[in-house]
Structure formats: structure tokens, C-alpha cells
Amino acid sequence: MSVLFIPIAALALISGCATSSAIRPLPKPEVIASDIRDADAQVEPEPHSEVPMEINEDVQKWIDYFAIKDRVRFESFLLRGEYYRETIEAILTEHQVPRDMYYLAMIESGFMTQATSHASAVGVWQFIRATGRRYGMRQSAYLDERRDVIQATHAAARYLRDLHQEFGSWYLAMAAYNAGEGRIRRAIRIGRSRDFWVLVQKRVLPRETKNYVPKFLAAWIIGRKPAKFGFELPEQIESRYPNVEKATVPGSVHLNEIARVLGLEPNSLAPLNPHLIHGITPPEKTTYDIWVPQGQAAQLLAPEMPLARVTNPAALLPVRYRVRTGDTLEAIAKRHRISLASLKRLNGLDSDRIYRGQSLKVRPSSS
């Protein structure tokens, strides 16, 4: 366990509601330190897998921000996260990654499966396209597995474990998750240190990355004891991510058709499969695995339960696409299953040059 740095301001916040006008006696610092150690003991027991708990000036700044200035939004993150918490923590533990990395997803996306950043990072864990593909998440005009909470959490856990193996520090692993491995290698080389805080002091990290670990620590601290900071969360969470299992179904089948066969309500499978962009299994696949409530996959194997296919899946695709950072004309063409030549012809382009925000026609309006 690393040395704890707990300033008086932090003690004041931890001791009670950050916005309360009532004056309460502060608990003894050693009591708070003991609480933190007890909470850390719930993380993976091997010493090398623990995330060090440190409260310093940088962390305190983000505690203040989340608990006071950004209070309403942060509370929505806490509430939304509880729906996924058990599922995410179980997957992290399966990969021998500290369970409290759950809070990394909180600062990445606020647990929104449809979250998309200015850099075109997508999903709860905010994977960019290249890293998503590297960790096995497929993407097409019909499919973006970065939006699948289960697949993305498995990928994030493997990625974080790989980063920890390379850098030997969970702080540097998180920094690399944010900035990329190359930037952290360069920062270590220039700063001549593998201590995250030393690299911050030497100003060799990007500004966003310098704040990334303190934001994680602040979210972690508040998330451990939300009531101490005045967040009134329900004692019993009414709804949690359900137990699910994979079901193999044909390509080009709508989720509502699958729900009908299973006797489920329309649109009930969409929240379990947010990665199916248009609500159908990818037509380019002979079969595809989707998530269904546990115990129901076997019903789809019965011969008397045929699934009707969507006859013209292309009609569900958008007519236009807005160019994002990192896009290339070739990648856009491949994603929308159109030849590069056809895409250029549709848009009257003489070259492969495109710009962010450009609106491109990706199929004829009459189709």
C-alpha cells in the first residue's frame, strides 16, 4: 500500500456532505485511512494488482469539481453506473484487473453506450476504431461492437492488463489508455521516470492525461462513499443489467423478430444489443451471436421457431454520413459496403481528400 496524502480539505469533504452548512466533527485521519485500506482490500488481493490510493492537491481539485460544481451530472453517472456495476466488476475480476477500474468507464463515458467523442471514440469504454479492432471488436455499417458493454469491458480489461504489464503501474496504464502507449513511452523517456506524479511535475504529459488519473481517483473516492459527499442514492437498485447468454441467429434478422419468437416485448432486446446499429443482425454474416436473457437461447434452436429475415436491409442504412476525425474515404466506403469509385461518383469527388464535418452521400436516395 502506498503512502496516503490526505490534506485537511479532503478530510472535510470525506467527513460529510460537501455542500452541507452543518458543522460536523471531523473523524480522525487514521480512521479515514483505515476505511480506505479496508476498501482497497476488496480489490484483487495480489499486491501488484492494487491501484494505489492517493489524495493530493490535483485529486482534491476534481473531488471539489465532481461533488460541487458538476454535482448533477456526476450523480447521473453514479446512478447509471449502478445498472452495469456488477457485470463490469465481474469481468474486470475475471481478467485480474482491479475492480475499481469500473470508475475509469465512469470518467470515460458516464456509462453511456452511445457516447461518441470528438475523436470518434465510441461506447462505455471509448475505444477508437483501431484499438477496438485490435481487441477483436468488429465494426461495419450495421455493427459496432464497441457499443456492446460486455464485449467492450472484456476488451478494456485485456487492454488495461497489457498496459500494466508494459508500464508496471496502474497510473501509467490509465495514462496510456487515455493518451496511447507511444505518448507515455515518450514521456517516460523524456522525463526519465516511471512515476506518474513525477511526469506530471516535469510537464511531459498531455494536459488531458495529466488530469486523467486525478479524475479517476476523485470518482473512485466519491463512488466509495457517495453519502459522505451528500449524494443520496437509493439503498436498493431497482434495475441491474440482467444475466444474459449468447444466442446464435442468422444474419439480417431484426431484434423484434427474435423478441417475438421468444415471447418478449418489442424493443426489449435492443438495450442488450446496442451494438446492432439498425436493430438487425449484420447481413454480411451467415450467423451472428446476440445477447438474450439467460435461459432463452435454446428456444431459438427449435425448428418450429423460424426467424423471418429483413428482405432489404440496405433500406435501413442512412443516405448520408458526416465525416469524423480519423475517417478516410476508403474506410467510409468499406463501412457502408460501397466501392470507393461509387462513393466518389455519388459525391462528385476527384480525389480521396475529405474533411471533418463533411456530409457524404453513401447510397442513392431512391434505394
- Residue 49's pLDDT is 46
Give me 76's grid cell. 447521473
Q: Is residue 182 part of a domain?
A: yes
Of the candidates 92, 148, 158, 94, the residue with the CA atom closest to the CA atom of residue 124: 148
Q: What percent of the chain has pLDDT over 90?
A: 61
Residue 317 has what pLDDT?
Answer: 77
Mean pLDDT over 252-271 rounds to 95
Q: Is 108 in the active site?
A: yes
Asked if 62 and 141 sit in the same domain, the reply is: yes
Beta bridge partners of 246: 291
The count of structural domains within the chain is 3
Mean predicted confidence (pLDDT) in 143-149 = 96
Q: Average of pLDDT values for 67-87? A: 95
Residue 50: predicted pLDDT: 80
163 and 260 housed in the same domain: no
pLDDT reported for residue 319: 83
Same domain for 102 and 137, yes or no, is yes
Q: What would the mean pLDDT of 128-149 be, rounded to a whole number?
A: 95
Report d(CA 79, CA 63) in Å as an integer. Answer: 18
Q: Does residue 236 fall inside a structural domain?
A: no
Question: How sure is the predictor about 247, in pLDDT bands with cuts at 50, 70 and 90?
Answer: very high
| Mean per-residue pLDDT, 332-338 | 83
> Judging by DSSP bridges, how do beta strands 287-293 and 320-322 pair with one another?
unpaired
- Model confidence over 169-209: pLDDT tens digits? 999 999 999 999 999 999 999 999 999 999 999 999 999 99
pLDDT at position 76 is: 95
Domain that holds residue 268: 244-313
pLDDT tens, 277-314?
A: 999 999 999 999 999 999 999 998 877 678 999 988 87
Q: What is the mean pLDDT of residues 24-36?
A: 41
Q: Does residue 5 register a pLDDT over 70? A: no
pLDDT band per the 50, 70, 90 thresholds, residue 40: low
| Plot region of 330 (φ>0 → left; ψ -120 to 50 → alpha; else → beta) | alpha
Residue 88 — left, alpha, or beta (φ > 0 → left; ψ -120 to 50 → alpha)? alpha
- Same domain? 65 vs 197: yes
E strand segments, 218-338:
244-250, 287-293, 320-322
Cα–chain center distance at 62: 20
Q: Looking at the whole model, is its pTM more than 0.85?
A: no
Pick the catalytic residue: 75, 82, 89, 108?
Answer: 108
How far is 100 from 320, CA to CA, in rounded Å?
Answer: 40
Contacts of 132 (CB under 8 A, 6+ apart): 122, 139, 145, 146, 155
Band of residue 366 on the pLDDT scale cut at 50, 70, 90: low
Averaged pLDDT of the chain: 85
Distances (CA, A) of 332 to 69, 241, 328, 340, 359: 40, 33, 6, 9, 12
Q: Which of 162, 146, 142 is nearest to 280 (CA)?
A: 142
> Which residue type sits at 172?
L
Same domain, 34 and 59: yes
pLDDT tens figures, 92-106 = 999 999 999 999 999
Helix (DSSP H) and strand (DSSP E) numbers for the chain: 14, 4
Residue 7 pLDDT: 38
Alpha-helical (H) ranges within the chain are: 8-15, 29-40, 57-64, 71-94, 102-109, 129-134, 149-167, 170-179, 181-191, 196-201, 207-224, 255-262, 329-335, 340-347
What CATH number is associated with residue 349? 3.10.350.10
116 and 48 share a domain?
Answer: yes
